[in-house]
Amino acid sequence: MKLFIDTADTDEIQRAAAMGVLDGVTTNPSLIAKTGKPMREVLETICSLVEGPVSGEVFSTEYDAMLREAEGLATIAPNLVVKVPLIPEGIRLVKTLTERGIKTNVTLCFSPLQALMAAKAGATYISPFVGRLDDIGHDGMGLVEQIVEIYGNYGYETEVLVASVRSPTHVVEAMRIGAHVATVPFAVIDRLMAHPLTDRGLARFIEDAKKIPADAR
């Protein structure tokens, strides 16, 4: 499974990339706004830091305006993926961009039927938001399981990109289900490597290492 980071913070991206675990980046208007910088500048910088896909989102909801924004985003870098909201005009835009060879990430997916429409339009990625579903008492990972099954049944090539990830448990479940990608905040990436027994074992080894004569190390 591929691991993306969900952030527009270049420091976080560089730290994740330095570990050799980063396959791509997703952003959204909220994350871009936190940087206080122009969207294009932020995306250009991110695309220069990673070789994998970088999702940049259109802001508009009307087809012609979204198309203009998407065309502008697509000129930023070859690895830029246009992120599109899962609305009727967005699905229409996905079809147009797919026909032009522009990769797309359809975002804000909350049902298997929405995922079907995105795949039929030719989306490169579909992003089910598992954490937001969990927040309202629904089964976020259950949705991912449904989408993976449906896409497998009919041979859709759209990759399932698990989004709104809140914990390492979401990542484990995504792997078990067979999702193609999980995009996670840096704080969760950090926690993927954490285990109390690792910490305890390392502390013991460090203490024992002190007992070894310096000239015998």
* Known catalytic membership, residue 83: yes
H or E stretch at 137: none
Q: Please tell me the predicted confidence (pLDDT) of residue 116.
A: 98
Q: Which one of the listed residues 2, 34, 37, 83 is annotated catalytic? A: 83
The partner residues of 161 in beta bridges, in order of sequence, read: 181
- Say whether domain 2-216 belongs to CATH 1.10.3720.10: no
Which residues 6+ apart lie within 8 Å of 22 measured at CB?
A: 3, 4, 5, 13, 16, 50, 52
Q: pLDDT tens digits for 37-76? A: 999 999 999 999 999 999 999 999 999 999 999 999 999 9
Mean pLDDT of the chain, nearest integer: 97
Q: pLDDT tens digits for 97-122? A: 999 999 999 999 999 999 999 999 99
Q: Where are the domains of the chain?
A: 2-216
Q: pLDDT tens digits for 174-190? A: 999 999 999 999 999 99
